[in-house]
Amino acid sequence: MGSSDAASEVRLVETSHHVGTYATLSHCWGGGTPIKTTTENISKHLLGIKNECLPRTFAEAVHVTRKLGIQYLWIDSLCIIQNDHDDWEREAVMMCQYYQNSLVTIAAADGSNSDAGLFRDFDTLATRPCRFRVPDQQGHIRSLCVFTPQMSFRRTQFNMPSLYMSKSLALYARAWVFQEQVLSSRTLTYYRDGFTWRCQEMVFDEKPPLMQTTTDFILDDKKTQLRMGSDPRPIEAGIAELQRKWIYPRPELDPILNESSFHKRGCMDPSNDFLLAWGKIIQDYTDRGLTNKSDRLIAIQGVAQAAAAVAARTYFAGIWVDTPHSIFMGLLWCVSAVGSRNRGRTGVAPSWSWASVSSQVIWLGHWLCRLESRITIVGLQKQGALSKTEGELTMDVNIRPAMVEDGYVAQLTDWEDENRGHGHPERMSRQENCSCHSR
């Protein structure tokens, strides 16, 4: 990024090795295109980028980075050559390293494009508690701080700040941003009425009670019954829990978080926790918007890379394929009723993978609470790049037609051919070549 002088220009730094401490920016591109590096202007950007050419979000992120004493800032549209497909593919698969190795990610949560900026004008009195001096039973004067429920970031059924009920924050609706949130060990998030810091130890907010341990933040979310789609804190708490278990695990410090809620209900062997967590990840991820459906696999590749290293599993085409059981679990998905209205093929994955469809999916791993597996994986042939895969899956399985709606069997149907057992499942061997090709 260049000099720490606020008035100096920034410049693109080209390096093939570690350059030191740096920050990353998480932001929405929006309908337009922010300033970007191309094959035509990369030489110019290496010399310098005029401050007036930077959109507001970039300029304010540079300001924050310099105030933190950090020299470098990674911004996707500037650090990836946007019209060079080979460079884009190389850099896209490096997202895991970029965000995991970043000292801090600056998140522009309240901006639908790069001109929205980080900073907002708001009434500081709205978050400032009233201070009272009151005597205790011994006659000593004590100073107490009193605040209204709207001032707190703690969520109960009696406390839902109107701020988060007005409209959703744009950043939390983007699929590419999901892995940026999951992979960042420290995040400084700018909302529309302040900012929040979350790391692996603590969560800080401008609203009282001002700070919580990250563990308490996660557990508070588990106790909360009320959910609002526009409230980002359940997302933040879910990401924090995911990080504690599968991205930055520290089991000796978080015994409570390592307990499986499925296992405690007598529903699932705890060894399946990872596969259940992955199913929830896919549901959340596919509920977010993605401009190019061809990015379906690559936009979550960084999370898969990080999780594979921790869980010691093998990933392919959106599912885990290290054991027949994990393949079976990965096949239990369907298109949601909402997503079915925009159903379409992505062309980047075999038809048995959730990544083959462009709509939101529902993952049915919870069915295993009352479902006995009768599937035998005969073989899996796989090939292709990280962003586009081809695969042939051969299974030996009992099958019967059924209608599935929103994750539940709505109707079992009989075979049309009466010679096939009059509605009883017939053991058969099914082989489907699910190779996908670019259109």
100 is written with which tokens? 């995991």
> Please, what sign has the CA dihedral across residues 274, 336, 172, 113?
positive
Residue 210: inside a domain: no
Residue 101: inside a domain: no
The pLDDT > 90 percentage for the chain reads 35
Bridge partners of 203, per DSSP, are 198, 212
Q: Of 63-67, 253-257, 354-358, which gets the smallest average pLDDT?
A: 253-257
SS3 of the chain: helix, strand, coil, percent, to 5: 35, 20, 45
Bridge partners of 392, per DSSP, are 381, 433
Query: 375-384 and 361-363: which strand pairing?
Result: unpaired
Overall domain count for the chain? 1
Residue 26: inside a domain: no
Residue 152: band (very low, low, confident or very high) from pLDDT cuts 50, 70, 90: low
Residue 234: band (very low, low, confident or very high) from pLDDT cuts 50, 70, 90: confident
Residue 250: inside a domain: no
Buried b (16+ CB within 10 A) or exposed e, 13-27: beeeeeeeebbbbbb
d(CA 173, CA 374) in angstroms, rounded, equals 38
Q: Of 15-19, 107-111, 343-347, which gets the smallest average pLDDT?
A: 15-19
Residue 437: inside a domain: yes
- Between 147 and 382, whose confidence is greater? 382
Phi-psi region at 309: left, alpha or beta (left = phi > 0; alpha = psi -120 to 50): alpha
Residue 414: inside a domain: yes
Q: What is the mean pLDDT of the chain?
A: 79
- Residue range 356-370: mean pLDDT, rounded: 78
Contacts 24+ apart (CB under 8 A), 163-168: 163/191, 163/192, 163/193, 164/228, 164/230, 164/231, 164/232, 164/233, 165/228, 165/230, 165/231, 166/230, 167/230, 168/229, 168/230
Token look-up 């459906």 returns 293
Q: Of 44-58, 378-392, 395-409, which gets the smallest average pLDDT?
A: 395-409
Q: What is the pLDDT of residue 256?
A: 54
Query: 22-26 and 333-335: which strand pairing?
Result: unpaired
User: CA of 367: how far to CAs of 22, 67, 213, 248, 279, in Å?
Assistant: 44, 51, 34, 29, 12
Largest CA distance in the chain: 91
For residue 354, what are the domain limits? 261-439
Residue 156: band (very low, low, confident or very high) from pLDDT cuts 50, 70, 90: very low
Quick check: 254 pLDDT over 70? Answer: no
d(CA 432, CA 350) in angstroms, rounded, equals 10
Q: What is the pLDDT of residue 414?
A: 61
d(CA 257, CA 255) in angstroms, rounded, equals 6
111 is written with which tokens? 């901006």
Residue 80: inside a domain: no
Residue 413: inside a domain: yes
Residue 292, classed as helix, strand or coil, is coil
Q: What are the backbone angles phi and psi of residue 104, rounded to the nearest 5°?
A: -155, 145
Token look-up 């992955």 returns 278
